[in-house]
Chains A and B, each alone.
Chain A
Amino acid sequence: MASTPADRHDTDADGTSVGRRSFLRWVSGVGAAISGVLVGIPVVRSFVSPVLIKPVATGWIKVADDTALLDVGAPVRVDFVKEQSDAWIESIAQNSVWLYSDDGEKFKAYNPRCTHLGCAYFYDKDTKTFGCPCHRGQFDVKTGAVLGGPPPRPLDELPVEVRDGVVFVQYKEFRLGIPERREA
């Protein structure tokens, strides 16, 4: 309040101003760093949030009511209804899996997308294989192994459980077009 140009000038002109100014620089730096962290943490965390959020464990989905009604020795595509949440949009979507059984007791379930680029594949009755119409990928119905075409890995098998004749599947999506099986 009482400082005038003159006495202000004195303090600034002598050697102490160096110490004072380096202190002010230090204060500015510390303040800026604190502010940066306080704002930076929520901003960066929420920006990279999609990477931080772990996918919710998928539960068992009932895909068939009775194993007795399913074909044996030939794959069957079964449709089911799944509740999907796409960020803030909750929706109900129809989805499907391929089931295959040799004996009507033990089942295999495959994700219905071709591991090449994600097209839906079909059962070819003549060759008794799965065929993908997009790029002529071919898979074995018993093991899911690649028999021909560009797919980089076998079909994606899904966990299956049969309880009292009811078939449950844990539906999962995998990254496509790569040789390894990684959950998407």
Chain B
Amino acid sequence: MSISRWIDERIDLQQLRADLIDRRVPWGLTWWHTLGSATLTVFMVQVVTGVVMAMYYAPSPDHAYDSIRYIEHSVQSGSLLRGIHHWGASAMVVLVLAHMIRVFSLGSFKYPREMSWLLGVGLLFIVLGFSFTGYLLPWDQKAYWATQVGTNIAGSAPLIGGLMVKLLRGGAQLGAATLTRFFSLHVLLLPLLLIGFALLHISLVIRQGMAPRPLALEEGAPARTNDPAYADYYHERYAKTKAADTRFWPDMIAKDVVVATVIILALFLMAYFVGAGLEPPADPSDTSYVPLPEWYFLPFFQLLKLVPGKFEAVVTVGVPALIVFVLVLLPFFDRRSKRSLFHRPLAAAVLAGTLFGSGLLLYGALRADRENVRLAATTGVPLTSLERAGRALVKSQNCSACHLIGDQKPDSSGDVNKAPSLNEVGFRHTAGWLHSFIESPTRFHPDSKMPSYGLPKLSHMEMEEVARYLSTLRGKHAMSEAPQIVDTFPEPVKKMEH
């Protein structure tokens, strides 16, 4: 123990321990009070997983995707590592928002913690910045197209739009310079900013002490926190909340650790069973991809759909500006000394309205997403002229009398039950196989009830058009997977011996 004594004599560890670890905290801190430390814990998880991932990552369009595949498939525990980082990103956003809601609901942002709140608002946007820049790095379809949309949103700002796009992308187009730029922001600038802000935020918590339960600071309080008498009232009452011998260690830390452990376990399980996913590599020439942002940006994304085009800038610029404006001004605007949400009906209504509205938008976005997938499944990607001709033939030949194709439900005249749905037929069969099948179904299935559409019903050109169209029908697999072809051709028919 002489080493610790040697250090103690120089930097007074005992005092540090008393100030940081053994300090008293207000009585009655709830599980909701663990959200801040949970956010910090997940950030540390993001740091260690991120550092190791950066060892295997190449921020360049010709190698980024392959290096991510390398992490997923070749690095030991690599997919687990990436999965934890991926789900940790979601957890960060959820935890920061939950922490803010807790602070808002218990009135903890009020005197004397206005600065903690402002730093916290800064931290919220830093975390969102992490999420936005990190999304691009795998350089898969999702990454590329979501970032196209994200940067274009910035571009829709009046006057400075063009400037913003170039600044974000490192050029007019999304490409190599964007990837290195986002990488630098994600692993250098944002971590530094976050650490700086978090250190200030946490040192304020230590210096001012944790905010007590709201009711402890309401009885007999001056009506407003900017009342000259409020400071004395506050300090006297706050000291009383610490009269009970509740210590940071282990009374609060035990709660913090339990919550952090549950979250980390959840991240681990999500990483293990769901993983981070990786779509096909970014293809800038693909015009059919339907990009979706990360789920916590979906309410905002959905809001964009609800406004007419000419008011778009109102949403793309106005809504984020309004959010910043409200969050920054909140502690200066709401200076009434009532802290409990039960005594702040307006605040309660605003919070409930915001949560309900975001929930509604999120739900709408998720439903619209399913709709998109269904649309893509039935009409497919933009069709070539051959495929369009095939689609017309499928209609004119009334294939949907028996088969389910997209929304065209089979009518009652056909043998509905036996004919297979064609909505995923392109996922299983090539156009070549389909051509042969249409020409002579019984060659493939002797019991098939499907009549031959070979000559003279359809010409070979027409059968080819139909087959090409059908091969575009890939159902819900349309965008995510390569087709799994199971074509089996019958033995060639032998000529009869004379």
Could you tell me if A35 and B264 are in contact, using CB atoms closer than 8 angstroms?
yes
Q: Looking at the complex, which one of A35, A41, A43 makes contact with B261 (CB distance below 8 Å)?
A: A35
Q: Looking at the complex, which one of A9, A27, A53, A90 makes contact with B244 (CB distance below 8 Å)?
A: A9
Residues of chain A with a CB closer than 8 A to B53's CB: 46
Classify the interface of chain B: helix, strand, loop or mixed. Answer: helix
Interface residues of A in 33-88 (CB under 8 A from B): 34-35, 38-39, 41-43, 45-49, 52-53, 87-88
Q: Looking at the complex, which one of A12, A46, A89 makes contact with B77 (CB distance below 8 Å)?
A: A46
Could you tell me if A8 and B28 are in contact, using CB atoms closer than 8 angstroms?
yes
A-contact 0/1 string along B66-83, CB 8 Å cutoff: 110111001111101100
Q: Looking at the assembled complex, report how far the CB atom of B124 sits from the nearest CB atom of chain A, in whole angstroms.
A: 24
Residues of chain A with a CB closer than 8 A to B268's CB: 38-39
Tell me if B84 is interfacial: C-beta within 8 Å of chain A.
yes
Residues of chain A with a CB closer than 8 A to B84's CB: 39, 42
Q: Looking at the assembled complex, report how far the CB atom of A69 sits from the nearest CB atom of chain B, in whole angstroms.
A: 39
- With A34-B261, A43-B81, A45-B77 as given contacts, are A5 and B254 in contact (CB-CB < 8 Å)? no
User: Which residue of A35, A41, A88 has the most chain B CB atoms within 10 A of its CB atom?
Assistant: A88
Tell me if B241 is interfacial: C-beta within 8 Å of chain A.
yes
Residues of chain A with a CB closer than 8 A to B67's CB: 87-88
Q: Looking at the assembled complex, report how far the CB atom of B196 sits from the nearest CB atom of chain A, in whole angstroms.
A: 24
A49's nearest neighbour on chain B, judged by CB, is B76
B-contact 0/1 string along A1-45, CB 8 Å cutoff: 001010011001100010001001101100110110011011101
Q: Looking at the complex, which one of B76, B244, B250 makes contact with A52 (CB distance below 8 Å)?
A: B76
Q: Looking at the complex, which one of A28, A42, A89 makes contact with B66 (CB distance below 8 Å)?
A: A89
Could you tell me if A46 and B78 are in contact, using CB atoms closer than 8 angstroms?
yes
Residues of chain A with a CB closer than 8 A to B71's CB: 46
How far does the alpha carbon of A9 sit from the alpha carbon of B244 in the complex, in Å? Answer: 5
Could you tell me if A28 and B245 are in contact, using CB atoms closer than 8 angstroms?
no
Could you tell me if B27 and A24 are in contact, using CB atoms closer than 8 angstroms?
no
Q: Looking at the assembled complex, report how far the CB atom of A48 sits from the nearest CB atom of chain B, in whole angstroms.
A: 8
Residues of chain B with a CB closer than 8 A to A89's CB: 63, 66
Interface size, A (range)? 20 to 34
Tell me if B351 is interfacial: C-beta within 8 Å of chain A.
no
Could you tell me if B49 and A42 are in contact, using CB atoms closer than 8 angstroms?
yes
Could you tell me if A46 and B245 are in contact, using CB atoms closer than 8 angstroms?
no
Residues of chain A with a CB closer than 8 A to B326's CB: none
How far does the alpha carbon of A90 sit from the alpha carbon of B62 in the complex, in Å? Answer: 12
Residues of chain B with a CB closer than 8 A to A21's CB: 247, 250-251
Interface residues of B in 236-259 (CB under 8 A from A): 240-241, 243-247, 250-251, 253-254, 257-258
Residues of chain A with a CB closer than 8 A to B251's CB: 21, 24
A-contact 0/1 string along B111-148, CB 8 Å cutoff: 00000000000000000000000000000000000000
Residues of chain B with a CB closer than 8 A to A87's CB: 56, 67, 70, 74
Could you tell me if B264 and A39 are in contact, using CB atoms closer than 8 angstroms?
yes
Residues of chain A with a CB closer than 8 A to B399's CB: none
Interface size, B (range)? 35 or more
Tell me if B193 is interfacial: C-beta within 8 Å of chain A.
no
Q: Looking at the assembled complex, report how far the CB atom of B413 sits from the nearest CB atom of chain A, in whole angstroms.
A: 56
Tell me if B425 is interfacial: C-beta within 8 Å of chain A.
no
Q: Looking at the assembled complex, report how far the CB atom of B335 sits from the nearest CB atom of chain A, in whole angstroms.
A: 27
Q: Looking at the complex, which one of B70, B76, B240 makes contact with A5 (CB distance below 8 Å)?
A: B240
Tell me if B41 is interfacial: C-beta within 8 Å of chain A.
yes
Tell me if B493 is interfacial: C-beta within 8 Å of chain A.
no
A20's nearest neighbour on chain B, judged by CB, is B251
Tell me if B321 is interfacial: C-beta within 8 Å of chain A.
no
- With A5-B240, A27-B258 as given contacts, are A42 and B27 in contact (CB-CB < 8 Å)? no
- With A12-B245, A28-B254, A88-B58 as given contacts, are A3 and B75 in contact (CB-CB < 8 Å)? no
Could you tell me if B246 and A12 are in contact, using CB atoms closer than 8 angstroms?
yes
Residues of chain A with a CB closer than 8 A to B94's CB: none
Residues of chain B with a CB closer than 8 A to A31's CB: 254, 257-258, 260-261
- With A12-B246, A21-B251 as given contacts, are A49 and B45 in contact (CB-CB < 8 Å)? no
Interface residues of B in 451-468 (CB under 8 A from A): none
Tell me if B52 is interfacial: C-beta within 8 Å of chain A.
yes
Could you tell me if A38 and B265 are in contact, using CB atoms closer than 8 angstroms?
yes
How far does the alpha carbon of A24 sit from the alpha carbon of B249 in the complex, in Å? Answer: 9
How far does the alpha carbon of A34 sit from the alpha carbon of B52 in the complex, in Å? Answer: 20
A27's nearest neighbour on chain B, judged by CB, is B254
Residues of chain A with a CB closer than 8 A to B246's CB: 8, 12
Could you tell me if A46 and B81 are in contact, using CB atoms closer than 8 angstroms?
yes
Q: Looking at the complex, which one of A5, A39, A45, A90 makes contact with B48 (CB distance below 8 Å)?
A: A39
Could you tell me if B77 and A42 are in contact, using CB atoms closer than 8 angstroms?
yes
Could you tell me if A39 and B76 are in contact, using CB atoms closer than 8 angstroms?
no
Could you tell me if B48 and A43 are in contact, using CB atoms closer than 8 angstroms?
yes
How far does the alpha carbon of A88 sit from the alpha carbon of B139 in the complex, in Å? Answer: 14
Residues of chain B with a CB closer than 8 A to A28's CB: 250, 253-254, 257
Could you tell me if B52 and A47 are in contact, using CB atoms closer than 8 angstroms?
yes
Tell me if B159 is interfacial: C-beta within 8 Å of chain A.
no
- With A8-B27, A89-B66 as given contacts, are A32 and B76 in contact (CB-CB < 8 Å)? no
Q: Looking at the assembled complex, report how far the CB atom of B318 sits from the nearest CB atom of chain A, in whole angstroms.
A: 40
Could you tell me if A45 and B76 are in contact, using CB atoms closer than 8 angstroms?
yes
Could you tell me if B76 and A88 are in contact, using CB atoms closer than 8 angstroms?
no
Could you tell me if A41 and B243 are in contact, using CB atoms closer than 8 angstroms?
no
Residues of chain B with a CB closer than 8 A to A5's CB: 27, 240-241, 243-244
How far does the alpha carbon of A21 sit from the alpha carbon of B254 in the complex, in Å? Answer: 9
Could you tell me if B28 and A3 are in contact, using CB atoms closer than 8 angstroms?
yes
Q: Looking at the assembled complex, report how far the CB atom of B269 sits from the nearest CB atom of chain A, in whole angstroms.
A: 9
Could you tell me if A9 and B243 are in contact, using CB atoms closer than 8 angstroms?
yes
Please, could you name 12 A-B residue pairs with CB atoms under 8 Å apart, sorted by A? A8-B244, A9-B243, A25-B250, A31-B257, A39-B45, A39-B49, A41-B80, A42-B49, A45-B76, A49-B74, A49-B78, A53-B74
B residues with CB within 8 A of A: 27-28, 41, 45, 48-49, 52-53, 55-56, 58, 63, 66-67, 69-71, 74-78, 80-81, 84, 240-241, 243-247, 250-251, 253-254, 257-258, 260-261, 264-265, 267-268, 271
